Amino acid sequence: MSNKDSKKKFISKKIFNDALKDSFKKLNPKLMIKNPVMFIVEVGFFITLFLTFVPTAFGDTGTNLRVYNGLVALILFITVLFANFAEAVAEGRGKAQAESLKKTKKDTMAKLLDKNGKITVTNASQIKKGDIVLVENGDIIPNDGEIVSGLAAVDESAITGESAPVMKESGGDFSSVTGGTKVVSDWLKIKITASPGESFLDKMISLVEGASRQKTPNEMALNILLTVLTMIFLMVVVTLHPLGSYSGVKIPASTLIALLVCLIPTTIGGLLSAIGIAGMDRVTRFNVIAMSGKAVEACGDVDVMILDKTGTITYGNRLAAEFTAVSGCDQNKLIKYALISSLKDETPEGRSVVELASKLGVSLDVEDYKEAEFIEFTAQTKMSGLNLQDGTIIRKGAISSIIKMVQGLGGKVSKDLEVVTTKISMLGGTPLVVCLNSEILGVIYLKDTVKPGLTQRFERLRQMGIKTIMCTGDNPLTAATIAKEAGVDEFIAECTPEGKIDIIKREQAEGKLVAMTGDGTNDAPALAQADVGLAMNSGTVAAKEAANMVDLDSDPTKIIEVVEIGKQLLITRGALTTFSIANDVAKYFAIIPAIFTVAIPTMNVLNVMKLATPSSAILSALVFNAIIIPLLIPIAMRGVKYKPSKAETLLLRNILIYGLGGILVPFGGIKIIDMIIFPLLKVLNVA
């Protein structure tokens, strides 16, 4: 389910074959009635099928009426099949993903721990919520849980598609584990938090299969509109029969049914479910599990995006950004000994010091310090460095620890040291003081770095009309610095979990839809309050349960792409609805003249397509009405291409492409079909 998968062709041979079978299964009226538009088409098929065998049932007369009714019935049957096929293809992609997930649900064994620590090996399906299990190197985690103790690398590729193992440990925001993932080092003791059949993996399978998919408010509203339009056109067509009789025109029942099918919005009616399912599918293929279609749709209407600073806008690891020498010390000397102190330091901070020194043109031969003793950083000493073989001591660390050591060696503290360290602290950075024996050389400025490319991404959001708000617990000065560098619209400093909820409620009170990301237990209330809550898979169970979306890659900035997918869903639905309704205009010009031209010759002026005969005109319109549905399936599945722009621009683009296109395409399509089928109708003596 990686991004690579999303670029594969949208329908495989297996999905095609399964969808074909499902198309016939969905003909069940109990299923069809959920889609009123296509249900009307199916009813029309049964009526025309009956008229094929009893052509005079409604008093109709005419040459070869049986053949004509049979052709109408066949085309209506194909129309319903194509609509069912569109929905089945969309569902098939979800089922294919579900099958790959089910492979991870093996009949695994679990090591159950009792109160005395005794291990009992049992089937994973017997593990209950609240049980403590031990998982060791090579074991499959039996169910969702929270780590009680231990530290281990966990392979989550079965769920995320990413091969790199993730470090998991007790406490903090990375203590949650998912059933079906595999421990690849060390061991973990896990408290099970889900009952059998209710794990996150079970929910994922249910969701991607479509079993839990409910129609969204927007989809239901559009369904109601289509139903109302269908009822209106049904009444119009019913009144045409007496009007025709009054005008001396005998209109066969099958022709009236054909007219009804062509007038009602069958195109969007046949594709509506597929568009909704495909929206959830696109999010899933982006490694995000949406708990409902409503969540995906809400993404398209988001006005405000709330983002945490650490880990979302910034890396969270404080990296070396600058060297500042104290008075009386040479800058190059500071850089040299800061580099030496970090040669064997494998922490992100240590490696960043080496990288910054290299950028400034200072490098050393590691072999020269091979025999030096490395002093690791500890919570007690709060410093690290090297002891050289000649007795030289080089350290970097917290201000208080370095000052204490230097003074213990008889050294003095530079007067401007406090000024430098205070300035760094005020900017939200971490000052690391460097010393050589009893001499303080200067300070390394460790800074929380903004992720590259975010400025451009936030600009993209502005083009969509979405405001970005950064929430951080940092002081206002630090918050202002990061906010300016990242390019967010607004920031809230010294923000508490309660503060996030207040911000969300404030924006919602103004009628705005709010999205936010989070991974900790303290984020859960705000994730639940937001209209779109994106929780990290690496986060806590509480966060994942509160959110309506879970990012399997645990990338907090992915909410930007999720919003774009939501907007693409709404635009796709709007574009195809516009195309469907515009489509009907051409069908009016095909069928209405065909019905009345015989009795009212002046109606022939409306036959702008110069269709051969009334029968060929009606059947050509019906054929076009049927084949346009499968032709639009790729657009419904992949979505209309979305570019960030204002609503007015998008509306104009939709009207020009799908509105104008919806009028022009049928004119050409119906004319071509008429030229093909007219000779065939002559052979059948129906023309």
Q: What pLDDT, on a 0 to 100 scale, did the predictor assign at position 441?
A: 93
Residue-level pLDDT at 311: 67
pTM: 0.64
Please report which confidence band the pLDDT of residue 58 belongs to, taking 50, 70 and 90 as the band edges.
Answer: confident
Lowest mean pLDDT among 140-149, 410-419, 541-550: 541-550
Residue 287 · residue 553 · CB < 8 Å: yes
Residue 6 has a pLDDT of 40
Please answer whether residues 520 and 543 qualify as being in contact, where contact means their C-beta atoms are separated by less than 8 angstroms.
yes
Please give the pLDDT value at position 624: 93
382 annotated ligand-binding residue: yes
Q: Is 136 annotated as a binding residue?
A: no
**How many of the other CB atoms lie within 10 Å of CB of 171?**
10
595-636: per-residue pLDDT in tens? 777 667 777 777 788 888 888 888 998 999 999 999 988 888
What is the band of 133 on the pLDDT scale with cuts at 50, 70, 90? confident
* More confident site: 486 or 687: 486
Q: Is residue 7 classed as helix, strand or coil in its secondary structure?
A: coil
**Active-site residue flag, 139:** no
Sign of torsion over alpha carbons 44, 46, 48, 50: negative
- What percent of the chain has pLDDT above 70? 87
More confident residue, 592 or 203: 592
Q: Is 602 annotated as a binding residue?
A: no
Query: Of 308, 474, 555, 584, which is the active-site residue?
Result: 308
Cα(448)–Cα(255) distance, rounded to whole angstroms?
A: 72
Mean predicted confidence (pLDDT) in 677-684: 87
Q: What dotted CATH number matches 316-449?
A: 3.40.1110.10
Q: Rounded to 5 degrees, what are φ and ψ at 353?
A: -65, -45
Which residues of the chain form CATH 3.40.1110.10?
316-449
Contact 469/492 with Cβ under 8 angstroms? yes
Strands across the sheet with 467-471, in order?
A: 288-290, 549-551, 532-536, 514-518, 304-308, 467-471, 490-492
User: How much is the average pLDDT of 359-387?
Assistant: 88
Residue whose C-alpha is closest to residue 590's, from 572, 612, 564, 560: 612
The per-residue pLDDT for range 433-457, each reduced to its tens digit, is 999 999 999 999 988 778 878 888 8
CATH top-level class of 288-313+452-552 = alpha beta
Contacts of 602 (CB under 8 A, 6+ apart): none
Q: Is 245 exposed, middle or buried (0-12, 13-18, 19+ CB in 10 A)?
A: exposed
Q: How many CA atoms lie within 13 A of 549 on its CB side?
A: 34
Residue 127's SS3 state is coil
Query: Is beta strand 145-155 parallel, antiparallel or unpaired with respect to 176-177?
Result: antiparallel
More confident residue, 421 or 685: 421
pLDDT band at 211 (very low <50, low <70, confident <90, very high): very low
Confirm or deny that 383 is annotated as ligand binding. Answer: yes
Q: What 3-state class would DSSP assign to 323?
A: strand
Question: What band does 101 get if pLDDT is binned at 50, 70 and 90?
Answer: low
Is 345 flagged in the annotation as binding?
Answer: yes
Q: Write the class of the CATH domain 128-195.
A: mainly beta
Q: Is 384 annotated as a binding residue?
A: yes
Confidence of residue 2 (pLDDT cuts 50, 70, 90): very low
Determine if residue 479 is labeled as part of a ligand binding site.
no
Is 377 annotated for ligand binding?
A: yes
Where in the sequence of the chain do the CATH 3.40.50.1000 domains occur? 288-313+452-552
pLDDT at 100: 56
Average pLDDT over residues 263-268: 87
Rounded to the nearest integer, the mean pLDDT of the chain is 81
- pLDDT value at residue 1: 38
pLDDT digits (tens, 9 = 90+) for 9-30: 556 777 788 888 989 999 999 8
Delimit the CATH 2.70.150.10 region(s) of the chain.
128-195
Residue with tokens 């909820």: 501
